Amino acid sequence: MLINMNLRGWFILLMLSFTILNGCINKNESNNYLRIEKTTDEIRTKLVALRRDFHENPELAGNEVRSAKIIAKYLEELGLEVKTDIAGNGVIGILHGESAGRNIAWRADMDALPNDFLDDVPFKSKNEGVQHGCGHDVHMAIGLGIAEVLAKNRDLLSGTIYFIFQPEEEPFKGAKNIVQTKDFLNMNLDEIYTLHVTALPVGKIMTKANELYAYQKRIKLSFKKSISQKELKDLYEKIRIETLRTVDGNKPWEIPLAFDTTRGLSNANTMFKDYFFMEENFVIHEESNQWELLADAYETKKSNVSNILSNIIEVINSSGYEDKFISASFIQENPTVMNDEKLTSETSRFLENRFGSELLMQDYGQIPYFNDDFIYFQEKIPGVYFLLGGSNKEKEINAMNHAPNFRVDEECIRVGVKTFSSLMLNRAESEK
């Protein structure tokens, strides 16, 4: 009886010690993340000013010279190892932690759009015909903010963080070029992450495993000159109608509804899932004494992509114009963003545990029209692509990308830096 009591006492003491130790670890971990948030708040004003400078001085894909110089100087002043002229104007900043860990990358794109949309802000573009209408100015500011927060808290950091500032995202070139460089291969990355600001409510983040966007295919249909352009237009409309697939008569091409709370991506019955459609707009031109009709198609199911051309040909063969038809082909087949299932689950769980369930919005669909060459990184390394809210209905701010008067609530910069600095810190110390 005495022996059993002693054993019981030792067991209770051991469990009590473990509980106290575990509590200390959790408290220290919590304090570490509070330091991340405090540093973020301290540099918020500077990051907003930096974003506005990028916005005023946008540069088209392949011409991101000024942006690259600012980024390189900023990273150097933080004490990072910096590499420039990566696949053109790319910049890589390397931040080594205080202890061994994993190699994690953060990607931020740099290029602006060729447009003159309404840009009703005091810091509108100074470069005629060029505008940051997709939010890459915000992405650069957030990327630099994450670098600064982690550099100022290097004592908390394990492993190595690589900050990849990428040119030429809009033409789908930059990432593909970077992954072929020795600088990229030498990183020996374990994981890679990025975000895109968009028309979600500010303070919200969205992601999902696997496909985030629809598969986009540009199709070329070739016809003999004996068919008139009017006949071609009528035939294309027939193709659109007969190949269309939606659920319950939904119209997934109505992209402004993507972030609507009742019909958008965050609703389990979203109109943006299980669809195929061809764009209403198309181009007809003459080439080699034949007509070429070019149009874009969007499909949510990978298994259906291989049937797109055969379905179109089937409609043509029953149209009465089959004798004037020459061929159908894909002329652009960009891969689509594909989030790693395991990482999506792990990172979503971390963010929810750290910041609360109200931060994350569930994504139930796939967005048409948009895509990102981040997929070329994901083809090499497991990675996750997040959507960051930039809209504020009360302030009449709508962060719909590539749209007139694209604006963001700059609170999204603080949210992005705080959230993803914490995530990078966590992922770098995770065991391999």
Distance CA 375, CA 223 (A): 34
Eight-state DSSP code of residue 421 = H
278 phi/psi in degrees, rounded to 5: -110, 140
Q: Binding site for Mn(2+), residues?
A: 134, 136, 170, 196, 402
State whether residue 424 is helix, strand or coil: helix
What is the DSSP annotation of 226-243? TS-HHHHHHHHHHHHHHH
Distance CA 174, CA 239 (A): 34
Eight-state DSSP code of residue 250 = -
What is the DSSP annotation of 270-317? -SSSS-EEE-S--EEEEETTEEEEEEEEEES-HHHHTTHHHHHHHHHH
Question: Which position has the token pair 């990273």?
Answer: 75
Distance of CA 310 to the CA centre of its chain: 32
* Closest C-alpha to 335, from 176, 133, 135, 198: 176
Q: Binding site, residues?
A: 134, 136, 170, 196, 402
Distance CA 229, CA 232 (A): 5
Q: Which residues pair with 105 in a beta bridge?
A: 162, 192
